[in-house]
Amino acid sequence: MRILCTNDDGYTALGLTVLASAASAIGEVTIVAPDREQSATSHSLTLFHPLRSRRTVDGAHVVDGTPTDCVLLALNELLPRRPELCLSGVNHGPNMGEDVLYSGTVAAAMEATVMGIPAIALSYTGDRPEEIEGWEPWLLKLLRQLAEGDRFPDDTLISVNLPAVPPDEVRGVRVTTLGTRRYSDSITRAKDPAGRDYYWIGGGVSSWSGGEDSDFRAVQDGYISVTPLHLDLTNYRLLEELRGWNLTL
């Protein structure tokens, strides 16, 4: 199986190295990844400056663009043959609930899904990314089950979140829904050396909520969370109600 590996933490991230290593047990891996941190770039494309790609001594393609740029270039220019699977991650941080709307990790998998390639986004919910290394055997087991065979769903990507527990304490796998994230104090306002205000998004303490079957609950309980994500954001349950508004000109 030909496997494209990418991420949003940049090509030097440990999570990508571990993912590529696990994936190499089930296929022929090519890495096409950003040259720097691109977390929270969502599905952005670089349109207004040229992109460059270079090769590392290990053969990875390193692109000075976003994760979505990487997947686009990989499929259209850099890879000699179309990959049969795209893996994105392992992200150094969770991608649960609304995170998936901001995540470059998830967006890269989404881009592959749009192009008709089965794609899995993987994220580690702990704050010690060096722990990701120990997850390799579990990643391999999961990848075999998710990606081998021909049952991978159309128009759907799979988002995996690893719990913040030592790998040998993981309790199992749960198929989940997206929970809800609540950040508090996540914007800092301060003064620059010239006395002008600046704002810094991020940080703060986040808390989560979600039902029994949510991603957040699964990782909190020590399970690997596996969420199927559909690209169609239409709220089908609301169609009839909205038609009932009789919008007209």
Q: Which residue is nearest to Mn ion (CB)?
A: 39
Q: Which two tokens stand for residue 26?
A: 């089930």
Q: Which two tokens stand for residue 185?
A: 């104090």
Q: Are 11 and 56 in contact (CB under 8 A)?
A: yes
Minimum separation from the CB atom of position 92 to Mn ion (A): 6
Residues that bind Mn ion (CB under 5 A): 8-9, 39, 91
Compare residues 27 and 99 and give the one whose CB is closer to Mn ion: 99
Minimum separation from the CB atom of position 239 to Mn ion (A): 35
Q: Are 20 and 26 in contact (CB under 8 A)?
A: no
Compare residues 33 and 178 and give the one whose CB is closer to Mn ion: 33
Minimum separation from the CB atom of position 7 to Mn ion (A): 7
d(CA 217, CA 229): 17
Other Cβ atoms closer than 10 A to 58: 9
Minimum separation from the CB atom of position 241 to Mn ion (A): 37
Assign 205 to helix, strand or coil: strand
Cβ burial, residue 26 (10 Å; 0-12/13-18/19+): middle
Compare residues 30 and 39 and give the one whose CB is closer to Mn ion: 39
Compare residues 39 and 161 and give the one whose CB is closer to Mn ion: 39
Minimum separation from the CB atom of position 105 to Mn ion (A): 6
Residue with tokens 């527990």, as numbered in its chain:
165
Output b/e per residue, 72-86; b: 16+ Cβ within 10 A.
bbbbeebeeeebebb
Kindly give the pairing relationship between strand 53-55 and strand 61-63. Answer: antiparallel
Query: Secondary structure of the chain: what % helix, strand, coil (to 5)?
Result: 30, 30, 40
Compare residues 17 and 27 and give the one whose CB is closer to Mn ion: 17
Minimum separation from the CB atom of position 75 to Mn ion (A): 21
Compare residues 8 and 215 and give the one whose CB is closer to Mn ion: 8
